[in-house]
């Protein structure tokens, strides 16, 4: 009997440790993506984070494409791990399970993300199927992110709900501002602040993931005491 009790305690401790590591992956994923954005911008001479999109850092023929692809693959793996951590933390919460599914689905799509061509190539008529798919993938992943935020808001407390609503509002406004200048990229026309609007979108979503991870980690700590 005592032996079984000890084994059960060890099994629970292992499960808790694994869940903690998975949840920490949410924080690590956001830190990795933000860091990659900074490093890639520094390595890409002539690139403007103010007037150019994040996707242009991984465009075909750019000097930062190989670095971006390799580290974004790691980012997607971290998000999948975080999604598993959210699932384990969900217990009987169907809303949190939906959040987990949205996170994992978004990350899996990231493994197959088609690249765009550089602006000059697009303006010269070099657009291919990958450029079209790039837009389609974006149109699919953005709703997944917004659904994750929406269900997360409904699943947790009032403060997080308010924070999530503010995050969604910022995403909508910055997304509209980004989409206004989007068609100008293909024509190689000036897009003075498209990089700013897109990075605001990315930043608030990354922050939301970090806050979600922290809340779930704190809840797990309280439950284990």
Q: Alpha-carbon distance 115 to 57, whole Å?
A: 10
Span 91-105, average pLDDT: 94
| Structural Rg of the chain based on CA atoms | 20
Three-state SS for 123?
helix
| Mean pLDDT computed over every residue of the chain | 92
pLDDT in tens, 110-151: 999 999 999 999 999 999 999 999 999 999 999 999 999 999
Q: Alpha-carbon distance 47 to 157, whole Å?
A: 41
pLDDT for res 221: 82
Which residues, including other chains, have CB under 8 Å from residue 137's CB and lie 6 or more apart? 109, 112, 113, 114
pLDDT in tens, 4-18: 555 555 545 556 788
Domain limits, the chain: 2-224
Q: What is the pTM of this model?
A: 0.90
């Amino acid at each position: 009997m005592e032996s079984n009790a000890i084994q059960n305690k060890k099994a629970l401790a292992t499960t808790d440790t694994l869940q903690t590591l998975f949840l920490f992956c949410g924080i690590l994923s956001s830190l990795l993506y933000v860091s990659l954005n900074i490093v890639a911008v520094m390595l890409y001479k002539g690139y403007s984070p103010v007037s150019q999109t994040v996707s242009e850092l991984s465009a075909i023929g750019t000097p930062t494409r190989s670095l971006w692809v390799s580290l974004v693959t790691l980012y997607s793996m971290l998000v999948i791990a975080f999604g598993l951590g959210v699932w384990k933390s969900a217990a009987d919460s169907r809303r949190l399970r939906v959040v987990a599914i949205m996170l994992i689905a978004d990350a899996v799509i990231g493994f197959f993300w088609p690249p765009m061509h550089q602006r000059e190539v697009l303006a010269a008529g070099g657009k291919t199927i990958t450029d079209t798919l790039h837009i389609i993938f974006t149109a699919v992943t953005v709703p997944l992110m917004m659904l994750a935020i929406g269900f997360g808001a409904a699943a947790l407390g009032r403060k997080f709900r308010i924070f999530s609503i503010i995050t969604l509002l910022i995403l909508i406004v910055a997304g509209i501002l980004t989409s206004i200048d989007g068609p100008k990229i293909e024509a190689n026309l000036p897009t003075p602040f498209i990089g700013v609007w897109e990075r605001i979108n990315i930043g608030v979503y990354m922050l939301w993931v970090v806050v979600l991870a922290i809340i779930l980690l704190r809840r797990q700590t309280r439950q284990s005491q």
